[in-house]
Amino acid sequence: MDRLDEVLQAARPLLTRVDDMLTVVGAPEDHAVWGELRRVRLLPADAVQAVAALRPSALSDAGPELRAEARACVDVAASLPSPDEWTGDAAEAYDEVRHRVTVTLSGADESLDERLQATAELAEALMKWMEQTRAAVAAALGTVLTSGEALTLRSGPISVPSAGPEALAAADIAAHLLRTVADNYEQATDLIRGSTPLTTTALM
């Protein structure tokens, strides 16, 4: 359990109140929360829960395992014997295949070992992103829990005609949380875009 798991338990009632206020009352027409809602396409409680569902530990073994596979490719490529004194058409054909397999396994920019190394780097970057995103959302939750806006959001039935201050407080909290989630997910999008060659470049 990390900081996000801990603070989320305390924040659930506030998140529910914020969601209910946005759903029933809405927010001022020109409030920044509308732009953040368009970016995330989730209400704050669901957006925070999506981050809470990220499990960096699920990728902790991926990097080392992929790097081990990359080293195995290098070892196999180095172990393929040359024809030596073997001559003739068969020897030439074998050597051509050996060279092609060696290049496929190791050494070239698009070789299997290089792609495995790149995949390991991606897995490690995603794990780090998950950790940073969870920490950022935990910090944002901590901030709103102790804010004046949280004090404004009283419990009890929501009365639309008298919900002006509460609606604004809910919108302020929602905008802060959603902005934190959206900004961090944009970083993940950049990581995934940077990994496109791993899926679009074919091995020779």
Q: What is the pTM assigned to this prediction?
A: 0.81
Residue 203, CA distances (Å) to 62, 103, 105, 110, 200 in order: 22, 10, 9, 6, 10
Nearest Cα residue to 27 out of 35, 177, 52? 35
CA distance 129 to 23: 31
> Is the pLDDT score of 111 beyond 50?
yes
User: pLDDT-derived band of residue 204, with 50, 70 and 90 as boundaries?
Assistant: very low
pLDDT digit string, tens, across residues 143-200: 999 999 999 887 666 665 556 889 999 999 999 999 999 999 999 988 888 876 676 6
Each residue of 22-60: pLDDT tens digit? 998 899 889 999 999 999 999 999 999 999 999 999 999
Residue showing tokens 């939750």: 141
How is the chain split into domains, by residue range? 3-57+122-200
- Residue 91 Cα distances to 9, 84, 127, 204, angstroms: 69, 9, 47, 22
- Kindly tell me if the per-residue pLDDT of 101 is higher than 80: yes
**What tokens does 6 get?**
């801990």
